[in-house]
Amino acid sequence: MNGAQDLGGMMGFGPVVHDDNEPLFHGEWERRAFAATLAMGATGSWTLDASRHARETLPPAQYLSSSYYQIWLAGLEKLLAERGLVTEDEIAAGHALTPPLPVKRKLMADDVETVLAKGGPVDRPASAPARFNVGDRVIAKNMHPETHTRLPRYVRGHAGVIEAVHGVHVFPDTNAHGLGEQPHWLYGVAFKASDLWGADADPGLTVRVDLWEPYLDPA
């Protein structure tokens, strides 16, 4: 979707400032927000893609004025409320007011390290051959869905070259909305900066984006 989260290539927001000594968390509440998000994700109440969609659909003014973990916390509260796991009154109060609803599974403290180390692979077996090969020229579709997508605005309608074939992976555009994984081939696509942003762009800059097959057409 075209939302406040899709800032790639946009002017007016300044450079990304990297701090070599930045701590993992700037306060205990950030650590707790991170833990709560992981714990609820592990219950199976929603998918990772649904979690991303919840964050990106926050009102633009709220999204752009919030810190990283404020966005995570707001997205988590949204998901919990949508699924009836908490009420607006409970969010305002900061604690439960009614008995909790059951969830599919629980992430216990003793299992966190093992579960996180295992990860959540999203590669899947291929059911059809890849449409594109390394070296093929492709065009990113000029699409503007109101639903979740991982196709950045700044590459839409532009031509690039397939540099890598990553195999078949869960398709976020459907997985975010309860429509199933619908796996598709995933490609590493290289775009010239001058093709994306015109003659004023750095002529030596190449932008590489991983894109699913439904996002692409032959050039």
CATH topology (fold) of 28-118: Cyclin A; domain 1 (1.10.472)
**Of the candidates 114, 116, 76, the residue with the CA atom closest to the CA atom of residue 85:** 76
pLDDT digits (tens, 9 = 90+) for 63-103: 999 999 999 999 999 999 999 999 999 999 999 999 999 99
| Spatial contact of 176 and 49, defined as CB atoms under 8 Å apart | yes
Q: What is the mean pLDDT of residues 150-160?
A: 97
* CATH 2.30.30.50 intervals, the chain: 123-218
Q: How confident is the model at residue 10 (pLDDT cuts 50, 70, 90)?
A: confident
Long-range pairs, 38-41, Cβ under 8 A, ≥24: 38/107, 38/112, 38/116, 39/106, 39/107, 40/76, 40/79, 40/80
Q: Check pLDDT > 90 for residue 158.
A: yes
Average pLDDT, the chain: 95
> pLDDT above 90 covers what percent of the chain?
91
Q: Check pLDDT > 90 for residue 51.
A: yes
* CATH 1.10.472.20 intervals, the chain: 28-118
Q: Check pLDDT > 90 for residue 177.
A: yes
Distance CA 44, CA 117 (A): 18
| Spatial contact of 134 and 140, defined as CB atoms under 8 Å apart | no
Distance CA 213, CA 7 (A): 23
- For domain 123-218, give the CATH number: 2.30.30.50
Longest Cα–Cα distance of the chain, Å, equals 61
Distance CA 101, CA 218 (A): 49
In sequence order, the β-bridge partners of residue 185 are: 168
10 Cβ neighbours under 8 A, 6+ residues apart: 154
In Å, how far are 173, 182, 213, 214 from 187, measured between CA atoms?
Answer: 16, 16, 7, 11
pLDDT digits (tens, 9 = 90+) for 122-147: 999 999 999 999 999 999 999 999 99
User: How many CA atoms are closer than 13 Å to the CA of 142, on its beta-carbon side?
Assistant: 5
In sequence order, the β-bridge partners of residue 206 are: 192
Say what the pLDDT of residue 121 is. Answer: 94
Distance CA 2, CA 79 (A): 20
